[in-house]
C-alpha cells in the first residue's frame, strides 16, 4: 500500500509475482524453508534448516523431550506468526512489539544500518528488555535459544527480501497493471548455477544474496568500544567526569537535554514517530495522528502510530542495557528505527562531535541517574 501511494502505481501484478517468489524461496512461517541451494556457500549456513523447523509450527513435545513450535510458544503472542509485531497482545503494549520483517532492530552492538549479530538477538531473548513487556527466557536451553534466533533471522530476511522485491518490481522491472515481459518477471530459478537466467531471476537472486550477506557479515560491523581513559577512575576523577558529562548533556553538541529534559525525566513533548510508523504515514504525505488517514492501513493490519516518548533516564532503567559499553554504543550509533541520533567521534574537541573521552564522560553522567534513583528509593 505504501508503494502504491508513493509510486502512484497499481501493485496487484507485482504483489502476485513477489508472493510466489517468496513462497518458493522461504516457504511459509509455519512450514519454513531456507534457500541453501540458491546461496553462496559462505553465507548458506547462516540459518540451519533443522533448527528452523524446530522453531516453527504448532507447539508439541516429542517423546525424547524435544520441544517444537518454540516461536509460537514464546514469541507469537506479541510478535505475530509472521513476525509482523501484531500478535494478540500487541495492542496493549507501548512500545509495540518489534516487526521483524523490516530487518531493523534497536538493541544491538552493530552500526546503525547493520543487522544485529546472533549474540545480540540471543542476549535480548535470554535477558529480555528492561522496562518493556519483552520478558526474559533464562530457562531456554542453548539449543532452543539457537532455534529461536535462527527463526527471527529467517522472518527478518524473508520480510526484507519481500519488501525489496516489491520495490524492484515497480522501480526497475516495469510492473504496472500487468506484469512485464517474461524476461523481466521476478521469479526464483531452479538452480543458481543455471546459465540461462532471465533478468528477473537475476534480480531476485541478487536481492536475496545481498540481504543474506548483510546478516552473515553482521559481526564485522560491531562497533568497537575503546577502553575508558585512565582505567577505573578514583572517586574524585569519577565526580569530575560526571560533571563534564553533565555539561555535555546540556550542551549544544550532544544536546541530550533537548529530548531527555534537564533532569533526565524524558517528558519533552515530541511530535516524532519511529520509522516503522513513518513508512505508512508521514513519508507518503499522511498525518500519523489522523485516524482517517490511517484507516486504510489499519484495516490492512497496520498499528495506529504512537508518538515517540524519550527514555526516562532518571529511573535508571535502560531498555537496551545500562552497562558502560552498551551506553557508549547507544550514544555513538543512536537507536536504529527511531529519532534517537548518533554522534560523530572526533580526534580533538570541536563542535563537530565528541571525542572518545567526552563520550565516556557522557556515559558516566547517564549512569549517575541510576545511582541517584537508587539513593532516592532508599
Alpha-carbon Rg for the chain, nearest whole angstrom, is 23
Alpha-carbon distance 196 to 259, whole Å? 56
DSSP string, 251-312: STTT-THHHH-TTS----------HHHHTTTGGGT--TT-HHHHHHHHHTTPPPP-------
- Kind plus residue range of the DSSP H or E element containing 98: none
Sign for the pseudo-dihedral over CA of 281, 99, 255, 222: negative
Per-residue pLDDT reduced to its tens digit, 101-137: 999 999 999 999 999 999 999 999 999 999 899 999 9
Stretch 61-79: mean pLDDT, rounded? Answer: 94
| pLDDT recorded at residue 375 | 53
Alpha-carbon distance 226 to 228, whole Å? 6
Long-range CB contacts for residues 188-195, cutoff 8 Å, separation at least 24: 188/21, 188/24, 188/25, 188/35, 188/38, 189/38, 191/37, 191/38, 192/37, 192/38, 192/39
Provide the CA 319 distance to its chain's centre, in angstroms: 14
| pLDDT recorded at residue 265 | 81
In 3-state terms, what secondary structure has residue 73?
Answer: helix
Per-residue pLDDT reduced to its tens digit, 296-322: 999 999 999 999 989 889 888 899 999
Of the pLDDT bands very low, low, confident and very high (cuts 50, 70, 90), residue 95 is confident
Stretch 3-25: mean pLDDT, rounded? Answer: 96
| pLDDT recorded at residue 226 | 96
Asked if the model's pLDDT at residue 271 lies above 90, the reply is no
| pLDDT recorded at residue 262 | 84
DSSP letter (8 states) at residue 68 = E
Q: Which of 45-54, 255-264, 266-275, 305-314 has the lowest mean pLDDT?
A: 266-275
| pLDDT recorded at residue 73 | 97
Tell me the pTM. 0.94
Alpha-carbon distance 227 to 357, whole Å? 9
Amino acid at each position: 500500500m505504501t508503494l502504491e501511494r508513493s509510486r502512484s502505481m497499481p501493485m496487484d501484478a507485482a504483489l502476485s509475482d513477489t508472493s510466489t517468489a517468496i513462497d518458493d524461496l522461504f516457504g511459509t512461517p509455519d512450514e519454513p524453508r531456507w534457500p541453501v541451494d540458491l546461496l553462496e556457500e559462505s553465507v548458506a549456513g547462516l540459518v540451519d534448516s533443522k533448527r528452523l523447523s524446530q522453531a516453527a509450527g504448532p507447539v508439541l513435545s516429542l517423546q525424547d523431550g524435544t520441544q517444537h513450535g518454540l516461536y509460537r510458544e514464546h514469541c507469537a503472542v506479541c510478535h505475530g506468526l509472521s513476525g509482523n509485531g501484531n500478535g494478540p497482545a500487541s495492542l496493549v503494549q507501548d512500545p509495540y512489539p518489534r516487526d521483524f520483517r523490516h530487518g531493523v532492530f534497536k538493541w544491538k552492538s552493530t552500526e546503525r544500518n547493520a543487522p544485529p549479530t546472533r549474540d545480540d538477538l540471543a542476549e535480548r531473548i535470554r535477558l529480555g528488555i528492561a522496562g518493556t513487556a519483552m520478558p526474559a527466557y533464562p530457562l531456554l536451553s542453548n539449543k532452543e535459544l539457537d532455534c529461536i534466533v535462527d527463526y527471527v533471522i529467517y522472518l527478518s530476511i524473508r520480510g526484507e527480501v519481500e519488501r525489496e522485491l516489491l520495490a524492484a518490481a515497480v522501480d526497475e522491472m516495469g510492473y504496472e497493471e500487468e506484469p512485464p515481459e517474461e524476461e523481466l518477471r521476478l521469479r526464483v530459478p531452479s538452480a543458481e548455477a543455471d546459465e540461462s537466467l532471465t533478468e528477473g531471476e537475476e534480480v531476485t537472486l541478487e536481492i536475496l544474496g545481498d540481504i543474506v550477506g548483510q546478516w552473515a557479515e553482521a559481526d564485522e560491523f560491531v562497533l568497537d568500544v575503546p577502553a575508558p581513559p585512565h582505567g577505573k577512575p578514583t572517586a574524585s576523577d569519577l565526580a569530575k567526569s560526571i560533571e563534564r558529562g553533565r555539561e555535555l548533556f546540556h550542551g549544544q553538541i550532544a544536546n541530550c537535554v533537548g529530548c531527555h529534559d534537564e533532569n533526565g525525566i524524558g517528558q519533552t513533548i515530541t511530535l516524532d514517530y519511529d520509522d516503522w510508523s513513518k513508512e505508512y504515514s508521514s513519508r507518503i504525505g499522511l498525518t500519523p495522528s489522523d485516524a482517517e488517514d490511517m484507516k486504510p492501513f489499519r484495516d490492512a493490519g497496520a498499528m495506529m502510530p504512537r508518538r515517540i516518548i524519550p527514555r526516562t533516564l532518571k529511573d535508571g532503567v535502560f531498555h537496551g542495557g545500562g552497562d558502560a559499553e552498551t551506553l557508549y554504543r547507544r550514544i555513538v550509533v543512536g537507536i536504529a528505527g527511531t529519532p534517537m541520533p548518533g554522534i560523530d567521534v572526533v580526534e580533538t574537541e570541536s563542535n563537530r562531535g565528541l571525542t572518545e573521552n567526552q563520550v565516556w564522560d557522557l556515559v558516566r553522567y547517564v549512569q549517575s541517574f541510576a545511582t541517584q534513583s537508587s539513593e532516592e528509593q532508599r
